[in-house]
Structure 1
């Protein structure tokens, strides 16, 4: 649980660090008397769309809710389940979890609202249990690099065009994976998080400070060139532009150790042994009477890694 709280704090600190870095870069440009025209470049980095989904990790919220619930911290569980529900309002596993904990913690007003919106969800009866599947798919797209022209104005009203190297994400089309199969029946899973979307949003949020830093770099290099060759040296100008284009390299480090997408599924089954089939691979696990088994899957290409954990009675 300490790690879950720490992850939430990391997200907030990252947001504050972005704002601080942007303010610092703006101040440095102001001290240099420079005013770059960011609009032409930033227009190539639009917001990722669904704002909440692009900045909040539904996977982290749902998983932390499960951990809180398994440790019988119903208040913590309900808070994170409802936050996950705001991010993934159509995810059946999240809906079922929010209703379940609202019942267990006697949140009657909230329960009435949830039932009105989603209907009721029944838990396992005697002789039954619950299966929750978390399915990680693929890896986050790698960033690529491109060179763009950035106009920069100085305090005397002069304009110069500089080439800056910036990272970007190529639009990615994920391969269609075969559905999960539980006991020879297809198991529907719903999206918890699109990490590609979050990565694109983070890049768009970071781009103003990245761009300002790049502007400072190329301007500083140009000032060094002018001091050594003179302002009117056309050959020097040409060589600088060639050298700058060749030496400017963007930071393309990205989130490639993370899955590109995570889905969740939940099902009530008979107590006993069950078999989950993923990409032709069978995995057998036990579901205990009126208890919950969590199955975790990582799918990359045609390979799948699977394990499970008993969560007890939820």
Structure 2
């Protein structure tokens, strides 16, 4: 009877953990997604779609599953399925934001996770992933010929970044102040090489550049100027951004502004050509790295006053970038390569760095709760109770490796003004290559959205 009581405590904890599956209790998310990523890299996007878990709204992993499905369906050219998944994720996130002040259900989930692991908590979508959701929704609207809908989404994407700048988490310093957390953090793998020079885990020049392109194509030169400028602050060496600002400085008609821009960029603005159209290439390369799992010692005082060292699982990234590179472009006697706009892998690593102290603080509370449960089970159920709960505690100690794993590792851009009429672009990245015929229209923008996964290069052509 006492053993049943202890087992009941354990089951109650699992139920309080929300709608997590048994997979989330015992298998890291990165391992669960390995078949999906493998299928994508082999060019089998339709097979990858079939591997995504079907979850109901309200499940802890629902938003993340919709993000994954939307991206995979997009790569598989299944636009209706992609759109449906994006919209479902967007609606769920909006509902979460609106209900954020009601903390009862969140408190129950936190209580349940104290007996399991962080993967049983509701997925907290990072700001860089929210930005990319709106970014992809904007591209979806463009594919349907709805530029106004696309502009709404890039505005929402930019609002995510603006809000994130205002609301940086004050819990970071508080969590780092705990001695056990500081010690565990000192043993965590270094991510500085992967993080690189990014200042935070959310600012994204890729989306600012896309919004600038859309504003300019719509004739809104002021908003285009602002977003190109924001993008250049993050990616100051990008030639496409520099060229866009020089062009707008000339179009906006202020000699002083043109002179200041030329002096700032160290380049002269080219003359405005008639009878030409603008060609913009957005290139997404590779897959964002998956988090791995590392077990670290964490010294703590137990509820009985004993000083013991426990083992905790934390997520980490290998401190190296993905195998990615630029897209080579040849057209109309011009040749060049795309230049980086964002390394999403760096944003993911920086976001994890910012979350680790809070993760380790929860781990400390979890270890104490699990140890108390084990003591209770040992007291009431003897050796059997001690063994059952001890085994559960060991096998349920999993790091939270959840993140949007079908995002590209990085994105880059290239642009040029080309004579109106039929043009043939020769594109190449690694061993992948493609000859792409396009129709350049005078005074219009032709947007080419390219993706490389494994040995495959895919493209879409959108006229703005």
TM-score (norm. length: structure 2): 0.58
Deviation at 1:128, TM superposition (A): 2.8
- In the alignment, is residue 165 of structure 1 matched against residue 289 of structure 2? no
Q: Report the CA distance shift for 1:257/1:17 in structure 2 as closer, same or farther (over 3 A).
A: farther
Residue pairs, 1:10-159, within 5 angstroms: 10-13=160-163, 19=169, 35-43=178-186, 44=188, 45-46=190-191, 48-52=195-199, 55-116=202-263, 117-153=265-301, 158-159=306-307
Q: Measure the CA separation in 2 of the matches of 1:294 and 1:106.
A: 26
Deviation at 1:270, TM superposition (A): 2.1
Q: Report the CA distance shift for 1:49/1:181 in structure 2 as closer, same or farther (over 3 A).
A: same
Which of 280, 291, 295 is 2:448 aligned to? 295
Q: Measure the CA separation in 1 of the matches of 2:284 and 2:368.
A: 44
Alpha-carbon displacement from aligned partner over 1:128-157 (angstroms, at most 9, x marks no partner): 332211111112111111111112246997
Asked whether the 8 Å contact 1:53–1:87 carries over to 2, the reply is no
**More divergent stretch after superposition (126-135 vs 14-23):** 14-23
Asked whether the 8 Å contact 1:163–1:245 carries over to 2, the reply is no
Asked whether the 8 Å contact 1:36–1:153 carries over to 2, the reply is no
* 1:255 aligned partner: 404
Taking only aligned residues, the RMSD between alpha carbons, in angstroms, comes to 3.3
Alpha-carbon displacement from aligned partner over 1:63-113 (angstroms, at most 9, x marks no partner): 011111122222211111001001111111000111222222245444322
Q: Measure the CA separation in 2 of the matches of 1:5 and 1:114.
A: 25
Residue pairs, 1:238-249, within 5 angstroms: 243-249=392-398
Deviation at 1:200, TM superposition (A): 0.4
Q: Measure the CA separation in 2 of the matches of 1:264 and 1:49.
A: 20
Which of 148, 156, 167 is 1:6 aligned to? 156
Deviation at 1:267, TM superposition (A): 1.7
Deviation at 1:303, TM superposition (A): 1.3
Q: Measure the CA separation in 2 of the matches of 1:119 and 1:178.
A: 24
Asked whether the 8 Å contact 1:193–1:261 carries over to 2, the reply is yes
Q: Which runs of 5+ in 1 are unaligned?
A: none
Q: Report the CA distance shift for 1:306/1:274 in structure 2 as closer, same or farther (over 3 A).
A: same
Report which structure shows greater RCO (CA 8 Å, sep ≥6): 1
SS of alignment partner, residue 72 of structure 1: coil
* 2:358 aligned partner: 209
Q: Which has the higher helix share?
A: 2
Q: Which has the higher strand share?
A: 1
Asked whether the 8 Å contact 2:239–2:339 carries over to 1, the reply is yes
Alpha-carbon displacement from aligned partner over 1:145-185 (angstroms, at most 9, x marks no partner): 11111122469975321211111112334155662333575
Q: Measure the CA separation in 1 of the matches of 2:423 and 2:303.
A: 72
State the number of aligned residues. 302
Q: Report the CA distance shift for 1:184/1:237 in structure 2 as closer, same or farther (over 3 A).
A: farther
SS of alignment partner, residue 7 of structure 1: helix
